[in-house]
Amino acid sequence: MKEIILAKFGEIVLKGLNKNTFEDALIRNVKRRTKRLGKIDYWKAQSTLYINPLEESIDIDELIDRVKKVFGIAKVARAVSVEKDWDKITEAATTYLEDELTCAKSFKVQAKRADKKFPMGSPEICMQLGGKILEKFPHLEVDVHNPDVVVNVEIRENAYIHAGAEDGAGGIPVGTSGKAMLLLSGGIDSPVAGYMMAKRGVAVSAIHFESPPYTSERARLKVEKLASLMAHYCGAINFHCVPFTEIQEVLRDNAPEELFTILMRRLMMEVAQRICEKEEISALVTGESLGQVASQTMAAMVCTDNACRMPVFRPLIGMDKAEIVAISRKINTFETSIEPYEDCCTVFTPKHPKTKPSLQSVIDAQLAFDYEPLIAKAVEDTKIYTINAF
């Protein structure tokens, strides 16, 4: 039987005049993420995107899995599509959903008649089809409140039958909320932060600071793997790898030890912003959560933000570690994040970092040395490449 995917739009249905822009972005993103699976037909009607695989070889489970990760889609149903002919509809419902109905104890029929020209109304469809199902599966009972199986019939330009929709990724389409640069480490938090911004429509690029030989190539490969896992949701990620060793060594040799981390973070922000300015990216994103570590106290963030000319989004700011871990498991980055490779942030870290640095002392410490040539060099030597999901 011919299967098709119905992807129902989420909150973009509430958009007013520019609704089409959002829908077009969503469809573009779905196409980008699925077209390599084979020949597929896509069209939209009534706040639903129809995804019709045209080749036998296309793995529908894989296709659904990809569609479910595209932001902007609230629900995804895998349906069978038949002509709007009553006999065909009943035949399709009882054969397509045979396994589900055989295993269930109870069911109900839910009908939606988008095509008002169809001769039967929704209540009549439910009653008639319910009767047919009971004839074929006499062990079943109708339960309108808590059925094991809901047989959905949607009458549109065709009739679509399915056993219910699964949740999609929610959010709004990537690319409709501007561009931001995620500071991506190898930890648990920053991939989750990137995911959360992408969910609100931001096109996420990533920047990673590495300090060879203190950090290894495997540590960088791990971060690239994280970016590739994020790309399942965010789309292809423009990845920037910054050589940070020299700045860290100079900081170690020149800055007051207790201010090392905060100065390092300010310099990371500076390098990131220069690259953003070149690429017309308008905000930074970090995985910081208030109070998690010494550099994430409010006083430390005041000092970090003082070095920033653009907004710094911290979507995890009010979240507990357990909540962050739950999302990281859901988006499949957790297992990679906990692989034990070093991060440049753990290189030369002081034993007693200041948790309440005074802004003036930090500014003075930064002015005591000319970091400009080092910053310029780090920006110049940054390697930029695209990381895809597959």
334 to 363: interface string for ligand ATP, x by CB under 6 A: ---------xxx------------------
The region of 152-160, 204-212, 250-258, 348-356 touching ligand ATP under the rule CB under 6 A is 204-212
Residue 89 φ/ψ region, left for φ over 0, alpha for ψ in the -120 to 50 degree band, beta for the rest? alpha
Q: Given the complex with ligand ATP, which of 128 and 336 has the nearer CB atom?
A: 336
Residues 184-213 that bind Mg ion (CB under 5 A): 185, 187
Instruction: Choose the one of Mg ion, ligand ATP, none that binds residue 208, judging by a C-beta under 5 to 8 angstroms depending on kind.
Output: ligand ATP
Residues 44, 61: contact at Cβ < 8 Å?
A: no
Minimal distance in Å, beta carbon 286 to ligand ATP? 4
Task: Locate 372 and state its tokens.
Answer: 């400009």
Residue 278 Cβ, how far from ligand ATP at the closest point, in Å? 18
* Residues 208 and 185 sit within 8 Å (Cβ to Cβ): yes
**Rounded to the nearest 10 degrees, how much is the dihedral formed by the CA atoms of 98, 103, 104, 109?**
-10
Instruction: With CA atoms as reference, report the closest residue to 4 among 69, 89, 95, 82.
Output: 82
- Rounded to the nearest whole angstrom, what is the least distance from the CB of residue 292 to ligand ATP in the complex? 5
Least CB distance to Mg ion at residue 317 (A):
16
In this chain, which stretch among 120-128, 179-187, 197-205, 290-298 interacts with Mg ion, using CB under 5 A?
Answer: 179-187
Binding mask 223-262 for ligand ATP (x = CB under 6 A): ----------------------------------------
**260-279 and 359-367 helices, crossing angle to 10°:** 70
**Residue from 47, 128, 158, 292 binding ligand ATP (CB under 6 A):** 292
**Binds ligand ATP (CB under 6 A): choice among 208, 232, 240, 266:** 208
Q: Exposed, middle or buried by CB within 10 Å (0-12, 13-18, 19+), for 369? A: middle
CA distance 143 to 170: 29
- DSSP classification of residue 256: -
* Residue (of 205, 390, 380, 376) closest to 279 by Cα position: 205
Is the separation of the CB atoms in 284 and 269 below 8 Å?
A: yes
Report 261-290 residues binding ligand ATP (CB under 6 A).
286-288
- Minimum CB–partner distance for residue 23 and Mg ion (Å): 38
What would the x/- binding string for ligand ATP be over residues 305 to 334, using CB under 6 A?
Answer: ------------------------------
* Residues in a beta bridge with 385: 239
Residue closer to Mg ion by CB (options 309, 321) is 321
Q: Are 210 and 243 in contact (CB under 8 A)?
A: yes
With CB cut-offs between 5 and 8 Å by kind, which of Mg ion, ligand ATP, none does residue 241 bind?
A: none
Residue with CB nearest Mg ion?
187
Which residue has the closest beta carbon to ligand ATP?
A: 187
Give the x-and-dash track for 159-198 against ligand ATP (CB under 6 A): ------------------------xxx-xxxx--------
Picked from Mg ion, ligand ATP, none, the partner binding residue 184 (CB below 5 to 8 A depending on kind) is ligand ATP
Q: Which does 154 bind (CB under 5 to 8 A by kind): Mg ion, ligand ATP, none?
A: none
Residue 27 C-beta: closest distance to ligand ATP, Å:
31
Residue 375's Cβ-count burial label (10 Å; 0-12, 13-18, 19+) is: middle
Q: Does 72 bind Mg ion (CB under 5 A)?
A: no
Please report the DSSP string for 85-143 in residue order: -HHHHHHHHHHHTHHHHHH-SEEEEEEEE--TTSSS-HHHHHHHHHHHHHHH-TT-EE-
Residue 16's identity, in one-letter code, is G
Maximum Cα–Cα distance across the chain: 86
Distance, CA of 38 to CA of 28 (rounded, Å): 16
- Return residues touching Mg ion (CB under 5 A): 185, 187
- Return residues touching ligand ATP (CB under 6 A): 183-185, 187-190, 207-209, 286-288, 292-293, 295, 343-345
